Amino acid sequence: MSHLKPRILKPDQEEVAPQTEPVKTYRVRGIPYFQVLNNVGQPVVEPPDWAQRKNPLVALYKVMLKTRLFDQKSVALQRRGQLGTYASSLGQEAIGAAIGCSMQTDDVLFPAYREYAAQFSRGVSMTEILLYWGGNEQGMNFQHQDKDFPICVPIASHIPHAAGTAYAMKYRGQRRVAVCVFGDGATSKGDFYEALNAAGSMELPLVFVINNNQWAISFSRKHQSKALTLAHKSVAAGIPGEQVDGNDVIALRQRIGLALENARDGRGPTLIEALTYRLCDHTTADNADRYRDSEEVKNQWVNDPLVRLRKHMQILGLWSDQEEKDLNSRYLAEVEQSTRAYLQTPPQPVSSMFDYLYERLPDALNEQRNAAMDQGHQNG
């Protein structure tokens, strides 16, 4: 899988960038940038063999489409007051799809909160994700996935956990890999630097994937760091770092797959910066029009990762309008069915917000639990 070579842009090349600003950072100081398809689905380098066959491409497309349809429904449910806050993955589906399709069953995923595509690929259900954002802890008690970690909303706090898990895998001599996903904003946190350093010094089987969607709520990538690329942060840790077009699922699948192989074979960690764009608000509790130029967002739609892969498959004659229609209907029905299952799930008792934190609840929290229960009875 290693024949994909970095694409070094010439100074006068202007296309390609999935984001508006730092085109020139792609070719600075030794950080390679990888892309296979341009935004109209045409290869810019010879695609890997697997990417010329129908099944692997359709597998990636399926999970991206499912995620997109799930996402639309989730936002609608929130707007109708049937879901709590929801974090959309609009425009960023390729990252999760590539991760999910690259990992092996025994590997462990540490998601942040936009990696539904990876979670769906690994057996988490749409109903579970809805339950989670609906405030039901059972949404993280995955019925068909007992290895991966739950959604992590505290920024970067899961990255040291991933390093610890990768250390355990190495210590036990297992051929397993931890994959940790987090945002551009998370790379400013101490947790990130500590985990990166530990992974480098101990040569841990750990793949770090930055979903660089150019925004940390209202804080832009430009303000986040003076680093020329976020991948440069790998240099100080002594591990390989690279940028990949985060809207190009083929390049992502290829590079993440290779990083996993390297980690599994004892060659240590990799830092992958996936360059994408947050086409949605930060969450449903945000209104990005307050701080972000709507023109910028409009311009980014040309990089839609689903359209790119679909066009590529159509160019190769591997995908028809009928197949597209059928898959849409199938997933729309699945989304509706999952929504019904979510809405029919009885709410958890008030006590559930205390019950999964500690093996034995500390006294102070026990008092709060009792008070909340009393309150619940009075209201109920």
The footprint of ligand TPP (CB under 6 A) covers 114, 153-155, 182-186, 211, 213, 215-217, 278, 282
SS3 108: strand
> 10 Å Cβ neighbour count for 352?
13
**Least gap, CB of 282 to ligand TPP (angstroms):** 6
Total count of residues recorded for the chain: 380
Which residue, judged by CB position, is nearest to ligand TPP in the bound state? 183
**Selected range binding Mg ion among 34-42, 66-74, 214-222, 325-333, rule: CB under 5 A:** 214-222
From the centroid of its chain, how far is CA 252?
A: 12
76 phi/psi in degrees, rounded to 5: -60, -40
Alpha-carbon gap, residue 30 to 273, rounded angstroms: 14
Q: Catalytic: which of 114, 122, 176, 282?
A: 282
216 binds Mg ion (CB under 5 A): yes
Partner in contact with 154, chosen from ligand TPP, Mg ion, none, beta carbon below 5 to 8 Å by kind = ligand TPP
**Least gap, CB of 78 to Mg ion (angstroms):** 20
Partner in contact with 40, chosen from ligand TPP, Mg ion, none, beta carbon below 5 to 8 Å by kind = none
Q: Which is nearer to ligand TPP, 232 or 278 (CB)?
A: 278
Say whether 291 is catalytic: yes
**Least gap, CB of 216 to ligand TPP (angstroms):** 3
Partner in contact with 319, chosen from Mg ion, ligand TPP, none, beta carbon below 5 to 8 Å by kind = none
The residue count for binding Mg ion (CB under 5 A) is: 4
Q: Which is nearer to ligand TPP, 114 or 253 (CB)?
A: 114
Q: Is the dihedral of CA 228, 233, 238, 243 positive or negative?
A: negative
Alpha-carbon gap, residue 274 to 92, rounded angstroms: 9
Alpha-carbon gap, residue 219 to 292, rounded angstroms: 10
From the centroid of its chain, how far is CA 169?
A: 22
**Selected range binding Mg ion among 45-53, 103-111, 211-219, 323-331, rule: CB under 5 A:** 211-219
**Least gap, CB of 282 to Mg ion (angstroms):** 8
41 binds Mg ion (CB under 5 A): no
Alpha-carbon gap, residue 327 to 63, rounded angstroms: 11
Q: Which is nearer to ligand TPP, 254 or 300 (CB)?
A: 300
Q: Catalytic: which of 291, 340, 356, 358?
A: 291
Q: Catalytic: which of 68, 278, 308, 312?
A: 278
Whether the CB-CB separation of 148 and 109 falls below 8 Å is answered with yes
**Least gap, CB of 189 to ligand TPP (angstroms):** 7
**Least gap, CB of 211 to ligand TPP (angstroms):** 6
Say whether 158 is catalytic: no
The helix/strand count (H/E) of the chain reads as 14, 8
Closest CA to 182 of 80, 282, 59, 272: 272
Longest alpha-carbon distance in the chain: 70
Residues 6+ apart with CB under 8 A from 169: 108, 176, 177, 178, 204, 205
184 binds Mg ion (CB under 5 A): yes
Radius of gyration of the chain (CA): 21
Q: Which is nearer to ligand TPP, 165 or 213 (CB)?
A: 213
88 binds Mg ion (CB under 5 A): no
Q: Hunting for tokens 């991933």 — which residue is that?
A: 162
Q: Which residues belong to the active site? A: 278, 282, 291
- Residues binding Mg ion (CB under 5 A): 183-184, 213, 216
